[in-house]
Amino acid sequence: MKWSLIEYNSYTGKQNMDFDLQLVNACKSGEAYLRFYGWEPFCISLGANQSISDINDIKSLEDNIDIVKRPTGGRAVFHAEELTYSVVISNYENISGRKLYNQISQAIVQGLKLYSSSLDEVKLETVQPNFSADLKTSSGALCFASTAKSEVKFNGKKLIGSAQRKIGDTILQHGSILIGKYHKKLVDYLNVEMAEIKNLQEELEENTIELESILNEKIDILKLQESIIKGFEKSFNILFNKELQPTL
């Protein structure tokens, strides 16, 4: 497998999703991409099957917050203080999506541990929640309200949310590595009753954690990127081709 690396840059929500799909379309048999990116302006992304009516689009527009649909599934994420990754990989070997999901998470865990020894307790969730039941609750619209199997957590709290989809002969997976607390403002943009807002805020506080909260320091996003690159190289036993840098 030939792996290419696309290093960190920031784009609008639509540009980011278009870029990932551009890589899906460009990915040939035996190829894979690892891409890192940010969001400018901040953006709320919705899962492919999630209704935009979950979000207060008027308030989002007033606050200069993008809204975009992801090509993958999952639930709403507020992309703010985070490092986002995407993996695009050809499925010519009929790779198991679950196995790949787990291996990507393991690679990121290795990278986090390289970033700081204080992250040695980062681990993967081993239990799959009942998403059908969760979706019927007011927090069902929130990606970070619960942790899926093989997602990354620290001391029982979700640190990274990821989603995956097979598109033709290619697998796309992308996810959000939480750096700061701003993602919790998502509840301010949900179309829910005012009485529910406090409950949802408490739920996010109870179920999520961020790198800056764990380490009690500002995160060097480029150092974090480099640590995760090394985690991927170790986990997948690869060396990245840094010469290929596709742009929008």
- How far apart are alpha carbons 248 and 246 in whole angstroms? 7
Percent with pLDDT over 90 in the chain: 77
pLDDT computed for residue 139 by the predictor = 46
The residue type of 99 is K
Distance of alpha carbon 207 from alpha carbon 146, whole angstroms? 7
The per-residue pLDDT for range 91-132, each reduced to its tens digit, is 877 888 999 999 999 999 999 999 999 999 999 999 865 445
Residue 169 CA neighbour count, 13 Å, CB half: 10
pLDDT, tens digit, 9 for 90 and up, residues 51-73: 999 999 999 999 999 999 999 98
Which residue in 160, 186, 182 sits closest to 173, CA to CA? Answer: 160
Distance CA 211, CA 178 (A): 6
User: Does residue 191 carry a pLDDT above 60?
Assistant: yes
Mean pLDDT of the chain: 90
* Beta carbons of 4 and 31 less than 8 angstroms apart: yes
Can you give the pLDDT at residue 74?
A: 85
Distance CA 98, CA 50 (A): 22
pLDDT of residue 194: 83
Query: Is residue 43 flagged as an active site residue?
Result: no
For 209-231, the pLDDT digits (tens) are 999 999 999 999 999 999 999 99
Q: Per-residue pLDDT for 138 more than 50?
A: no
What average pLDDT does the segment 16-29 reach? 96
pLDDT category of residue 197 using cuts at 50, 70 and 90: confident
Could you tell me the sign of the dihedral formed by the alpha carbons of 8, 86, 167, 50, in that order?
negative
Which residue of the set 55, 143, 171, 229 is catalytic? 143
According to CATH, the superfamily of the domain at 2-236 is: Bira Bifunctional Protein; Domain 2 (3.30.930.10)
